[in-house]
């Protein structure tokens, strides 16, 4: 029901959140399920369910698929698409007490901000970002460097073994 009015959408979801919720997400070729309802100022899907305060659509998607979100954890996007509600693209992120405190006070709009770069400062975006087998975000630049570094060390070790006479066929 992509053309439903906001009231129709919300009453449908309220009646049966576990099934109706997904009718308002469009499957994109990229694998993302884009929320068709309202968007927050920061670009996240939102819905308000009657007396409940407005809820982020991706948080609701996570709860329907995986159960309640533990206190203090954030639902983050692997795909960087804030409208996306595909549970496969959502993960629970922790944060330092400092930033959590700041976000609770409303000073940080996007709690997953710390995930925009790898620990070496390369951007988690575009070509450089890949999703690893265990579902975490990987940095191609770091992977390239690690591979180069690993090969170099391996060659040096081999050379050292030749010089000392160690490392022959056992």
Binding footprint of Zn ion on the chain (CB under 5 A): 32, 79, 81, 84, 86, 89, 118, 120, 122, 139, 141-142
CA gap 49, 67 in Å, rounded: 18
Q: How far is the CB of 147 from Zn ion (least distance, A)?
A: 13
CA 29, 35, 37, 42 torsion: positive or negative?
A: negative
Question: Tokens 């068709």, residue?
Answer: 36
**Of the two residues 76 and 118, which places its CB atom closer to Zn ion in the complex?**
118
**Of the two residues 33 and 95, which places its CB atom closer to Zn ion in the complex?**
33
C-alpha to C-alpha distances, 78 to 38, 53, 98, 102, 155, nearest whole angstrom: 21, 26, 23, 22, 36
Q: Which two tokens stand for residue 127?
A: 């070509």
Q: How far is the CB of 43 from Zn ion (least distance, A)?
A: 13
Helix (H/G/I), strand (E/B), else coil: 60:
helix
What are the residues whose beta carbons fall under 8 Å from the beta carbon of 90, sequence distance 6 or more?
58, 61, 62, 65, 75, 76, 77, 78, 84
**Of the two residues 81 and 95, which places its CB atom closer to Zn ion in the complex?**
81
**Of the two residues 105 and 120, which places its CB atom closer to Zn ion in the complex?**
120
Longest dimension (CA), the chain: 79
**Of the two residues 70 and 121, which places its CB atom closer to Zn ion in the complex?**
121
């Amino acid at each position: 029901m992509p053309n439903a009015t906001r009231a129709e959408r919300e009453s449908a979801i309220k009646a049966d959140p576990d099934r109706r919720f997904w009718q308002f997400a469009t499957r994109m070729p990229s694998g993302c399920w884009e929320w068709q309802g309202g968007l927050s100022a920061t670009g996240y899907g939102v819905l308000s369910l009657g007396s409940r305060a407005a809820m982020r659509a991706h948080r609701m998607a996570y709860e329907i698929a995986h159960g309640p979100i533990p206190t203090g954890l954030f639902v983050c996007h692997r795909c960087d698409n804030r409208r996306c509600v595909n549970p496969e693209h959502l993960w629970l992120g922790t944060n330092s007490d400092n930033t959590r405190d700041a976000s609770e006070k409303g000073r940080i709009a996007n709690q997953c901000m710390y995930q925009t770069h790898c620990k070496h400062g390369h951007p988690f975006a575009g070509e450089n970002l890949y999703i690893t087998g265990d579902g975490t975000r990987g940095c191609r630049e770091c992977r390239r460097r690690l591979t180069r570094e690993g090969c170099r060390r391996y060659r040096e070790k081999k050379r050292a073994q030749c010089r000392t006479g160690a490392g022959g066929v056992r």
